[in-house]
Amino acid sequence: MKSIDRLKFVRSALYVPASNARALEKALGLSADMIIVDLEDAVPEDAKAQARNAALAYAKAGVGNRLLAIRANAFDSAHHADDVAALKNCAADFVVLPKVEDVSEISDFGVPLLAMVETPKGLFNARSIAGHPTVAGLIAGINDIAAQTGIRPGPNREGLELSLQMIVLAASEFGKPRFDGVCNRLDDLDGFDAECRQGATFGFTGKTLIHPNQISSANAAFGPSASAIAEAEELIAASRGGAQRFKGRMIESMHVEEAKLTIERSRHAMGDVID
């Protein structure tokens, strides 16, 4: 299965600083579905070149069955041109492009892109960004959206619902994966669990993470539960085509396709999908 096809099954995407060799090595033993090697926020200005070389070497060495992305510096960064030159046709599955506000800012890296929507302008242009042929999916940049709009999110991210839904809708129009933004509250695991469930309810297909202790919660929230798998199997078995009654509700072909996707997601989560 191609990387771009596997992206829809990614539940957890862990950011790891390209400048932290120990963290990069540790990530290989974690259960995150995708590793995002970060050249942007996590790397000091004077370490950008060294981090870029480390990211390229990491990608070339391979990361096993998981997917690998490299987050470049933003279009308006002094480091962006060097990133484009170095990462062109690199061994990573994807390049993450931060702070995308317009399709004119989408550089050609020679590999599929994950575009981060992090600004008011980016939100209003999310539809055209998601529709760009080299963009494989969208990532919500919640911290920057809150900072630029003056939104003060409540404990359940009150105030950010519209921004989150705009990203989900834009990606969904083109059938592309969409990833919820990071949660900075590292010690509030109950709150993180709730945020993952909220993101899944909103329609995100996975979540970006900044700490290994967040992986299991994201995998649980964005992967199908045992009861959901059993329900999907039962629905598929009961389907006769067309509209019909199933456990007190009406189902049709759309629900059968959803059930099949649930089974496919469960197989991927258990490592049964053949690459």
Does 101 count as an annotated binding residue? Answer: no
Contacts of 205 (CB under 8 A, 6+ apart): 8, 10, 11, 137, 177, 178, 179, 222
Q: Which residues are registered as beta bridge partners of 250?
A: 245
Does 144 count as an annotated binding residue? Answer: yes
CA 254, 259, 262, 267: dihedral to nearest 10 degrees? -130
Residue 139: which of 160, 122, 159, 156 has the closest Cα?
122
CA distances from residue 59 to 24, 41, 64, 69, 133 in whole angstroms, order as listed: 11, 19, 10, 8, 23
Does 180 count as an annotated binding residue? Answer: no
Between CA 99 and CA 182, with CA 62 as vertex, the angle to 5 degrees is 30
Contacts of 270 (CB under 8 A, 6+ apart): none
Report the length, in residues, of the chain. Answer: 275
CB of 72 within 8 A of CB of 87? Answer: yes
**Encoded tokens for 153:** 């999110």
Question: What distance, in Å, lies between the first and last C-alpha atoms of the chain?
Answer: 4
Contacts of 63 (CB under 8 A, 6+ apart): 27, 28, 35
Q: Binding site residues for substrate, as ranges?
A: 71, 118
Q: Binding site residues for Mg(2+), as ranges?
A: 118, 144
Q: Binding site residues, as ranges?
A: 71, 118, 144
